[in-house]
Amino acid sequence: MTKPARGLSSALLLMSCSLATFAKDKEHLPLPPSLMSAKAVYIDNRGGYAELGDRAYQALREWGRFQVVQDRSQADLIFRLAVNVRDTAQRAYTWTVLSVIDAKTGDLLWSESEVWGPFRWSESATKRAIGELRKRIDAQTAHATTP
């Protein structure tokens, strides 16, 4: 390999390592303490599709962090599910919105929306939204335990 080619290879390697480090160190505003300490969740499915509630229940059971309760008064958090639809001349867009609400105060603590669509059928939008919350909680927990 020639010197210029070696230099270019080194520069590309350094740049890719820097980008990987930057992506890994992406910081978020810390999640509220009431969300981080919650134990019980009530699923409020306002999306009009029973499958939304089923997917949320499955994702929460797989995660194992929260106990899903049937009585709203026993919940620390409410996971409110909704569906939004936007029609354009070319196509209709549908997405699931997950809003995480403090059951005691009614404050919105976190929200995520995930699009349904032809390229996203492999995993439900509801599970992806809960997966995003899981990533955030896991990252914040790991950051808090790192010295």
- Ordered mean pLDDT values, 10 residues apiece, the chain (147 residues): 48 42 63 97 95 95 97 98 85 88 98 78 81 96 76
Identity (one letter) of the amino acid at 26? K
What angle do helix axes 50-63 and 125-145 make, rounded to 10 degrees? 30
Structural domains in the chain?
30-145 (3.30.160)
Residue 133: per-residue pLDDT: 97
Residue 26: per-residue pLDDT: 65
Question: Would the pTM of this model clear 0.85, i.e. be above it?
Answer: no
Q: What is the DSSP string of the chain?
A: --HHHHHHHHHHHHHHHHHHHHHHT---PPPPHHHHT--EEEEEE-SS-HHHHHHHHHHHHHH-SSEE-S-GGG-SEEEEEEEEEEE-SS-EEEEEEEEEEETTT--EEEEEEEE-STT-TTS-HHHHHHHHHHHHHHHHHHHHH--
Residue 85: per-residue pLDDT: 85
The tokens for 7 are 């230099």
Residue 115 backbone dihedrals phi, psi, to 5 degrees: -75, 140
Residue 133's nearest CA partner among 37, 42, 63 is 63
